[in-house]
A and B are shown apart, each in its own frame.
Chain A
Amino acid sequence: MSFDSVSMVFPDGTHALDDVSFGVDEGEFVTIVGPSGCGKSTILKIASGLLDHTDGSYDLADDNLGYVFQDSTLLPWRTVMKNVELFDELRKGDKSARRANAQRVIETVGLGGFENHHPKRLSGGMRMRVSLARSLTLNPKVFLFDEPFGALDEITRQNLNEEVGRLFKELNFGGLFITHSIPEAVFMSTKVLVMSSRPGRIIDEFDVPFEYPRTAELRYDPEFARLSGEVSKSLAAFH
């Protein structure tokens, strides 16, 4: 997936993105951090085709795209199983294959036994796992995350960060993650991009060298703290 000098001006004149260029390859996990309203989510909307950009060019190698939203966006009237089956259903997949696929990813995210629960009986973290599982049914080559864990408590969030890291290593997808939490960005990624406030521009780039699998211990590593500090400084300078 690659962005080449992409700009986005909304019909109401809001200049959301200005000359944004970067790429995400398979096996790369890129996180964009930036202030609220800088156009981070707009990037994902363009990447997924929900929005058309106004200038520059954008390329997507494979349209098998995982997309996890800020909200779990589960359909409340469907059980966990039926929610996870949704995408295959919309793509008119074979029924028994669809069921088997859903069962597999439900196990992958550790929700075996909850297949027949409705979302209202699940915690926020579990709903996010269902949302993750739903995208996993597509075997995506590229995975978009739009601040998916922002509303969760800290420990749940850290657990899910590790979970996604594990999936990333296992499935080797290209990840594009949006957050405004710097530790989360550093913890998750192979590369952190810093964005300025509106119009959003990429103003800095940090490679994150830590090995996967990354565990909770990493958060106490001095190198982790140093890198987080650098990202933080860079972000503050353009705030």
Chain B
Amino acid sequence: MKKRLGTAWPPLAVFAGFIGVWYFYSGVILDEVERNISLPYFHNVVDIAFLDGENRSELLSATWTSAWIAGIGLAIAVALGLFFAVLMSQAKWIERSFYPYAVLLQTIPILALVPVIGLRFGFGIGARVIVVVIISLFPIITNTLFGLKTAEQGHHDLFTLHKASRVTRLFKLQFPSALPAMFTGFQISAGLAVIGEIVGGFFFGRGATDLGNRIQLYAARLRAEELIGAIALSAGLGISVFWFFGFLRNRFTSSWAEANHT
């Protein structure tokens, strides 16, 4: 318990400092009108966004919507990403054929693609899922591919000596070797998936209401307290999925992996 407190207080102190700067900015630098439409006091945000029952359930239900849409998109991205990474790991020519397009996927600004996606797939939930998949696919492919290739030559020799098939090699050698890198990829992508979902929500308003829809609405109506509440929940959601995959990685690799990269 004592140790817990010991590791918890530095970030708590930073948080307290952050709240202090916030109060200073709202109270000293902004006048009342500016404060009300842009950065209200911390306690007003808590009061209106989270202690008011109606607002709170509005925000929480939007968070839940964002969470499951991001989750579906991420699951699809994981499946596709693993598939392409395994495919590319099987032969150099396959890797050379696909890799440039994986990079391309990453370099196209997602905002530029949004209208195309909307026009083709409508402005509902499906379109948001597609945005999530596009934005979170690349780190999964690259990290998994990198991981599959990190299996040591000595280990490969062992499998060669015992005439292991490609499939055996993949499942008994390359996948386990790749686990730490794979989870790093999932972790990066999990954060991106949440961002992608919210960006998608900005443009695709049909179907369930998510944090993106809410943020847009609050901004338009100058409801600064709820806007900041929604931003805080977006960040919280991103951190939760990041932690979740960190937890999974430790669960699966910490008993044997030499170095734990966090």
Contact = CB atoms under 8 A, between A and B. Distances in A.
A188 B19 CA distance: 71
Contacts of B208: none
Contact of A118 (B154, B161, B162, B255): B255
A50 B176 CA distance: 23
A48 B257 CA distance: 30
Nearest to A73: B154
A38 B192 CA distance: 52
B173 interface: yes
A71 to B, nearest CB: 5
Interface in A26-55: 48-50
Q: How large is the interface on B (under 10, 10 to 19, 20 to 34, 35 or more residues)?
A: 20 to 34
A65 interface: yes
Interface string B49-61: 0000000000000
B240 interface: no
Contacts of B164: 90
A87 B173 CA distance: 13
A113 interface: no
Interface of A is mostly: loop
A51 to B, nearest CB: 10
B157 A86 contact: no
A14 B245 CA distance: 48
Given A69-B154, A90-B164, A77 B256 contact: yes
Contacts of A168: none
B158 interface: yes
Nearest to A118: B256
Nearest to B157: A50
Given A75-B176, A76-B258, A118-B256, A49 B161 contact: yes
Contacts of B155: 73, 75
Among A86, A90, A120: residue with most chain B CB under 10 A: A90
B220 to A, nearest CB: 52
A54 B168 CA distance: 30
A85 to B, nearest CB: 11
A50 B160 contact: yes
A87 B157 contact: no
Contacts of B257: 76-77, 120
A119 interface: yes
A48 B161 contact: yes
A148 B5 CA distance: 47
Nearest to B163: A90
A71 B255 CA distance: 21
Nearest to A69: B154
A89 B258 CA distance: 25
A87 B258 contact: no
Contacts of B218: none
B161 A65 contact: yes
Interface in B212-262: 253, 255-258
Interface string B167-202: 010001100100100000000000000000000000
A67 B154 contact: no
Contacts of B23: none
Interface string B130-164: 00000000000000000000001011011111111
A91 interface: yes
A76 B159 CA distance: 15
27 contacts: A49-B161, A50-B157, A50-B160, A50-B161, A69-B154, A71-B154, A73-B152, A73-B154, A73-B155, A73-B158, A76-B256, A76-B257, A76-B258, A77-B256, A77-B257, A78-B256, A87-B162, A90-B159, A90-B162, A90-B163, A90-B164, A90-B168, A118-B255, A118-B256, A119-B256, A120-B257, A120-B258
Across chains A and B, which 7 residue pairs bring their CB atoms closest together, nearest first? A73-B154, A90-B162, A118-B256, A77-B176, A77-B256, A76-B256, A90-B164
